[in-house]
Structure formats: C-alpha cells, structure tokens
Structure 1
Amino acid sequence: MSNDSNARSLRRLPALCLVLAAAAAASLPAAANDAAPRDARGAAPDSSAGGAYAPPEHGEHLSPQFRQRAWAEIRNNARKLKLAAAPQRDGARSLGGFAWPMAGNNGLADPGYHAISNYVDQAGSGQILDYSCGARSYDGHRGTDYYLWPFSWHKMDNSQVKVIAAAPGTIVGRSDGNFDRSCSVNNNNWNAVYVQHADGSVAWYGHMKNGSVTAKGIGASVAQGEYLGLVGSSGSSTEPHLHFEVYDANSNLIDPYAGSCNGLNLASAWAAQRPYYDSAINKLIVGNAQPAFASCPNPGNPNENTALRYGQQASFSAFYRDQLNSQQSQYRILRPNGTVFASWVHNGPAAHYSSSWWNWTWSSFAPTGPAGTWRFEVAYNGTTYSKSFTVSP
C-alpha cells in the first residue's frame, strides 16, 4: 500500500466561502473544485485542504512459491500435531462466528484505525469482482487487506493496532524476525501466524511487525480475541496492513464476507458482518498546523496540539474511511459555554473514498478567547465525533 503522501496545498478563502484545495500530490486525484462546504456560519477559516488517500495495492504480493512453502509448513505441523482436517462436502464451505481480527492497542483512543483496500477477488483470470459485485480488489487477490489509517507508520511505530484471533484454534505456523518497513513488492518473508480451527479451516494473519508475533509456539492453543501480533509492513508489502486469508478444511479459499457475488461460500464467516461501505470517522485532530504527510516508510506528523493560545494559528482535521458523497458531515466548533464559534456542512466530492481527509485552518483563532475547554465536533453517518481542546491567553 502507498505511503501517507496525499497532502494538498492550501488556498486562501474569501469571506465565508470554504473552497477545497485542488492541488494534489502527483500520484493522487485532485479534489474537485465544486466540493466547497456549504452553509458556513460564524468565524470563517482562512484556508482548507484535503482529498483522497488511495493505497495503490493492485498486484499479487504472495507468489505461488511463497504459498507453497506456507502450505507445506501448515500441513506438516498439522500432521505432527495430529489435528483432524474434518473435510467438508462440496458446496458446504461455510464458517461462522468470526470476531473482528484487529483492535486498538497501547492507549490508542481514536474512534477508528483502519480502512479496506482489497477484498477477495471472486473472478480472477484478468477480471476483478468482490463479494458485493464491486471491484474493490485486484486480480487474483486471495485475502482481505486492512490498512492503517491515518498515519499508518506512526501507528505501527507506536504499536497502536494489534492483530487478534478471529476464531479459537491451534497455531500451525508462525514466522517472526523479518524486516518490517517494506515499501515495495518483493520476495522477502513476512511475519505471520497461521491458526487452524476445530473444523479444519485455517486463517492466515500476515505482514506483522518484527518482534511482535505471539511468543506461543506451534501447537499452542489461542482463544478468540487473543493477541497474535501487531500490524506491520513485513514481507511483500507497501504499507502497514493486515492481510487476512481464510481456507476451509479442504484448502478451498473462503471469503469471510457474504454477498450476492460471493461464489466461494454460502454464508458470512463473521459473527456480525460489517457493511460493504463501513463509513466512519477514524480520527479528529486539533493543532497549530495542518497534518504533515511523509513518504514511505516515514511516519509523518499529525501536528496535534490541544492546548491553543489566543490568536494562534489553529487547524482542524477529520479523517474518514469509506466516505460517500451522499453522506453529509455537519461541523461545529463550540466555545466553553456551548455557543457556536463556527459551523459548516461538507460532502466529499467523489462518490466514494476508501479513505479521505479534510482540513480547515484559521490563521488567527479566537484572538480574544474566551479561555476554557472548547470542542471540535463532527456529526457523520449517524454518529457525532468530538475532540476537546483548550484555549488560553
């Protein structure tokens, strides 16, 4: 996956008109000029920025030779452990009860931490088709890719997202000690855990952070939700992400998501399947400067600062996953007494962003206060997200 390199240049704004910056990084689409937030009230920002973050994960990263070695290890260990395969009848390849395979870690308090770049490719042979009849995959992709967003390298470096077991089972393969700051497709080995479940199905958890893989060895049992490692970028990878791949007891590929174009299995493997467009805000940032993105594998700088002074520059940012143009966001900045300092509404200009960010900056924020605890608030897709900050003389 690509690095966090989607910073947009700033543009001055007349009066109450909020116009998104159209200049984009060379590898990313420009924000549409007609994407200005509407109905601005109160103190207007001086500039804005934002747009798409599109991880270009469009090629098979696990070679046939790599897969052969992985399967040889899994089957050899399963035989040694005398694990029953429990083969299933054709057409009965369905699993159930999977938990979400990631969780926040090490004090991460953000409302979200991931986005999806690729589902399982149902078509192959030069065509792309995901379980919901869309094209959120690449040709031949055999797993689901969950990338960290925003500031993926910052999250990895601070061990903020862990990989957990989607279902209970036995460890039948593991690898650790491999380089984990990969920015390209390569032939390197990854850090991974392979878990066989009671029905003989096997889940692959790959690309983990070096040194983070569970200390449990081959043959050890893991419970559902148990720690397996930390999200990283080991092996053939271009950004920190989890590659989650599932097979039934007959070694047939499973797509854990149920949908009208899933021809691999009949039912969802999830205890509670998330929607195809899992629209939410992952993070709000208040600071003195716009967030700074960096090239892979550098972490960038969120530029967070929740202690502002009268008249300082102030920057307010929101980071989305699966943002749809039809979903309007209602923004407010509230004074300590609850009155509105500024408000506006915004829709992303594109029909869909797997991940996106939007920023508004005041060159001199609240030059006369008042002092106290303020709140940056965004109502989006049925949820209100908020970030508290202080202003002082």
Structure 2
Amino acid sequence: MLKHIVTVMGMLTILFGQFNIQGKGGYVPTQDNRSDCVSPQQRQEMQNAFQEFLQTHPINSSRDDTTFFEDPQGNGGMFGEDHLIINYVDDNQSWNFWVDYTCFYTVYDNHWGTDIIIPTFWNMDEMITPILAAADGIVFYTHDGEFDRNLTLDYSNVANMVALLHDDGTYTGYLHMKKYSVAVAVGESVSMGDTLGFVGSSGISTWPHLHFEVNNGNYGLIDPWHGDCNTDPSRWVDQYPYLGEYPQDVYDYYSSGVPLPAMTNFLVNQAVSENAPRSKHNNEGDIRWSHVFIRNLAWGDTLRWLQTRNDGGAEFEWWWVPSEDPNINWPAYLEYYTWSWWWIWGIVDNDTSVSYGTWTERFYINSTVFDSLTNIVVDGEPNQLPEIAPVVFDVEAGETFYGEIPSSDADGTPWRHEVVTDPTWGMFELQGGYQRKFAYTSISGAAGYMDSVIIAVYDDLNEMNTGKIYFNNISVGIEDELTPHSFALQPSYPNPFNPVTTIRFSVAATHASHLRVYDISGRLIETLVNEKLNPGEYEIQWHAGQNASGVFFVELVSGNQRQVQKLLLLK
C-alpha cells in the first residue's frame, strides 16, 4: 500500500510563457497509524494455509541454513529504470512510532514489507514487470481474480498474491499482483528467479507495485534489510544501498493537455496512472499541466519550469521551493524526501502574439535540467481527431489471432481504446497499454465469413473517433493441410513458455518471407526466417533462454501479407 499526504495550494495566476499558471499541488510521504496493507482476513487465511501445508510438508528441523533472497522484482529489479522503493519495513511496530532500517522515515506505521512501484497502469497492462521468486521454495498459498486498478484505500479489498515456504521455515509474500497473472499453483516447487505473476494494484493499494514481505514460522515479521535500526544480519544475497544514498533523479515527467474535470491531486494522479500522453498541440485557452516524480528532493531545492519559443521570440520561467512553501509544512528536521510528486497547471495564453509558435518546455531542479518536451505547437488550428485504418486481418476459423489496433493521430497521440460493437463470428478482447492490442478468437463455424469490430479511440485531448477493423475468417481443411494455399501464423505452443516454443506457419505463394521476434518496445530480438519460401507449412523453434521474462511479438511477413501474434515468456 502506498500512503501520502495530499497537499493542494490555492489558485494563483502567474505569467508562465504560453501558460497562465493557475495552481499547484504535491504528494509527499507520510507516516500514519492506519493498518497494514494486508487485510486481517487475508493474513489469517494465509497463516491457516501455512499451517495446513506444514502438515503434509514438515520443515526439516535439522537444517540450520539461513535462506537469503535475491531481488523479487523483474525487468531491471527494485532500482531498475522507472522502478523505485517507496516504503521499507517499519522496524518499530508500536503504534504511532515508525522508522526504517536506517533510522530514517521511508516507511509508514506498521508496514510489514518492501514496496516497489512501477510507473503506471500502462506498464502493468503491458505485463513487462514480472514478480520473481526471491529464493527456492514451495507455493503454499495463492489468490487471484481480484480487481487490480485500485488508486484509493479500501481495507476490505483482497490482494492477488503468492506465498512461498523456504527451507529454513521462513515464508515470503508477494502481493498486489495483476488480475489473472498468478503463474504458479499450490504445491508447486519454484526456483529463485522463477516468475510468480506480474505487478498490479490489487488489494489495499493506491498504485501498481509489489509488496514483498518475509515472515518466520511463528508469523513474526523479518526485516531483510540490515542497518542501524535493524541490527539483524541482512537477508539479501547482495543488499542494495539505501534509497537516500542514490543520486537525485526525476523518474517521471509529464507535460500534458489531457483535460480533467477539475485540477485536483486525485484527478491528476489518476491521469498519470493511465500514462497520460505528452500533448504536443494546443490552442489558446487550452489547459496544460506538468507532473514530476522526484527521488531525493532536498530542503531548499528549487523546482523550475522553463518555456522557450523556438524562434527566440519569448522565454519565461516559473519556480517553486517546496520546503519554503507554508502550505507544504515540510518538517524542519527532514533534510530530504526520498520520493515526492509535484505538479502545476495553467491555461495557454489568449494573447496569440505570445502563445502562437513552437515551444520547448524544460524541467529543472536547481540548475540541472532533468527532462524536456520539444515541438509543442500552439496555433489556431482545430484538433484533428484520431483515426483507425480499416485493415482486414486473415484469421483461421477456430483460432485466436493477436494484433494491434491500427490507430493514429496526425497532431497527437492515440490514448484509450474501447470496443463499441462486438464481432458476430468470434470473441474480441482489448489488451496491453492504452488497450491498443487485441485478441480475436474465431468460432469454428466462421470460415467464409467476414467479421468486424467497431473501436472508439481517444486522443490526448480526450476527443473521440470511431473506426472499424475486419477479420476474414478462412478455412484450412484436410486438403489444405497437405497442400497449403493460405497465409497463416498458427498459435505457438506452448504459450506461455519457458524457454522454448514452437512456431508454426504457412505461406500461400513463393515469396521472400521473414519471421521475426520483437520485444514489447518494438525492438527486434531475433530473425528466425529470412529467405524465399515455397508454398507450404513450416515449423521452427524459438529458444528464448537468453531473454528476460516478458511479452514478445512474432511477426510473419510474406509478400504483402503480414500477421503478428503475442508470446509470453515466463521464467
């Protein structure tokens, strides 16, 4: 669970380049006496499962080896790019007293674990951050199927999670997983580094993150971090430095024009959680806002936004020293916040002699620029609606086809996608970040029928348009299997897989053909086929052992035909 103080300052009007600044706000860590992020009911359920499991899997009491833990967060780890620890274990479990293992305050009262966040729900939807077994163990408890997009505290919520028993009698809990992502079953043995599920925001949670905790066989809390306020030996194979020892950094920077019903902390936070796109086209009078997430902001640091019109005709800046702002109530004893979020909002100036042009916005802390957005165009042109190209996808009847909505926006970014009308001859599901990917499953009797789906797409100004994509359901009969005459990328097997999967495909005519594997960001990982192929069926294995767990896409191209399918590597 993530906890914070919400601070909102009153309205103000300050000339800020193309903006008239109207307000500002921020989130900073707080230590309060609310309950733990695992509901008492779920913690009791987990402890009951632990006792029941011990009846059939007794601990070898002759073992005195201590279990040590590796990083439980995949995709770069707890301090990987865009990952951040925002809460440690509370080493003083008395009410109204709190301290982390270094005797600092990156913790809230009675917290039992380590919280590691990912940037947004877009990252959760893309399933690019697996949760890994921190040590060898046996699964004794799982729970799945709960809502995973929580942004507010509800102490009745239950988390999707996995718990492991280790050889020394300790057990570890992995909480707040993405819905339906639990990848292991009770009784299954797992090895250090195996994928247990994916990061989400289920249960008592306000942001997508992993809560990792260690307990002993008597349900007692174990803090795996060693320091001045926890003198027990470290339980990590290689303990990371403390969060406060890392250099100052800006983890996320947003400069967006996504309109919100009101400029409040919660609504800005909600837009950021959905990875609100950086907007690059505005008219006079439009609202824009900027949001930054900072590691290790010190007392006296100045937040500075600088706007420059690219023709050199105007340059303006606005700054803010949070520690000197009486509305922040920054404690005098606190030298720095290990993490904090800050935002401002304003209205594009109605004086077109000032606002019209192409702008660059830069964000500084003191004199260091940390991020920027270039080529922000302010003019009198109306917003262009996003579009969906009317693409036809060939699908083998009775099979599932994976693809991506062919949406585009000439002056912005396609953001959210929604189904308006469902198909007639199959089932359709939107997936991934911005709900831009899809799975279409054709029913077995659909051969010979053209199917369609109408999709709504919203742009970075939250304006909507609709479009239609088509599915040509084709048949592959016995004769076809002997003499293929269709172009098709068959479902890979197994999928999910670890670390080898078999990819089957067929081509209809003699063409130069390519079979390539891409990662979630579109980076080419491996070319499996790059040659001229005759009509027929083909089969090839992809050995993915050198790649980290995650989502991949296999693309088949032959002549002017193309199909794409999703692969899920679970280690």
Is the shorter-chain TM-score for this pair beyond 0.5, marking a shared fold?
yes
Q: Name the one with the larger strand percent.
A: 2
Which residue in 2 is equivalent to 1:306?
A: 279
| Larger RCO: 1 or 2 (CA < 8 Å, sep 6+) | 1
Structure 1: distance between partners of 2:186 and 2:374: 44
- 2:325 is equivalent to residue 355 of structure 1: no
Native 8 Å contact 1:312 1:367 kept in 2? no
Q: Which moved more, 1:203-212 or 1:270-279?
A: 270-279
Tell me the amino acid that sits aligned with residue 73 of structure 2. Answer: P
CA separation of 1:378/1:189 partners in 2, compared to 1, >3 Å: closer, same or farther?
same
Residue 123 of structure 1, aligned match among 84, 92, 98: 92
**Residue pairs, 1:1-393, within 5 angstroms:** 1=2, 8-13=9-14, 45-54=20-29, 58-62=34-38, 66-74=42-50, 76-77=52-53, 80=56, 87-88=63-64, 95=68, 98-99=70-71, 101=73, 103=75, 112=82, 116=86, 118-126=87-95, 127-146=97-116, 154=121, 158=125, 162-165=129-132, 167-172=134-139, 173-180=141-148, 183-197=152-166, 201-215=170-184, 218-224=187-193, 226=195, 228-234=197-203, 236-237=204-205, 240-247=208-215, 253-263=221-231, 265-267=232-234, 269=236, 271-277=238-244, 279-288=248-257, 292-293=263-264, 300-302=270-272, 304-309=277-282, 311=284, 313=286, 314-329=288-303, 331-333=305-307, 341-343=315-317, 346-349=320-323, 350=330, 351=334, 352-353=336-337, 354-359=339-344, 361=346, 363-364=348-349, 367-370=355-358, 374=360, 376-379=362-365, 384-391=370-377, 393=379
Structure 1: distance between partners of 2:5 and 2:94: 31
The root-mean-square deviation of aligned C-alpha atoms, in Å, is: 4.5
Structure 2: distance between partners of 1:337 and 1:122: 56
Tell me the amino acid that sits aligned with residue 49 of structure 2. Answer: E
Structure 1: distance between partners of 2:61 and 2:375: 55
CA separation of 1:100/1:293 partners in 2, compared to 1, >3 Å: closer, same or farther?
farther
List alignment gaps of at least 5 residues for structure 2.
324-329, 380-571
Structure 1: distance between partners of 2:133 and 2:366: 29
Native 8 Å contact 1:103 1:164 kept in 2? no
Deviation string, structure 1 residues 323-364 (Cα, Å, up to 9, x no partner): 332444454445558999344554322344442213253522
Structure 2: distance between partners of 1:206 and 1:133: 25
CA separation of 1:102/1:203 partners in 2, compared to 1, >3 Å: closer, same or farther?
same
CA separation of 1:129/1:308 partners in 2, compared to 1, >3 Å: closer, same or farther?
same
Deviation string, structure 1 residues 293-345 (Cα, Å, up to 9, x no partner): 5769x973345443224646443332334533244445444555899934455
Native 8 Å contact 2:348 2:355 kept in 1? no
Q: CA deviation at 1:94?
A: 7.5
Deviation string, structure 1 residues 76-102 (Cα, Å, up to 9, x no partner): 44664677577548xxx6735x22526
Equivalent pairs, count: 350
Q: CA deviation at 1:200?
A: 5.2
Native 8 Å contact 2:363 2:369 kept in 1? no
Larger radius of gyration: 2
Deviation string, structure 1 residues 108-135 (Cα, Å, up to 9, x no partner): xx9636562x432222233433212234
Q: CA deviation at 1:176?
A: 0.9
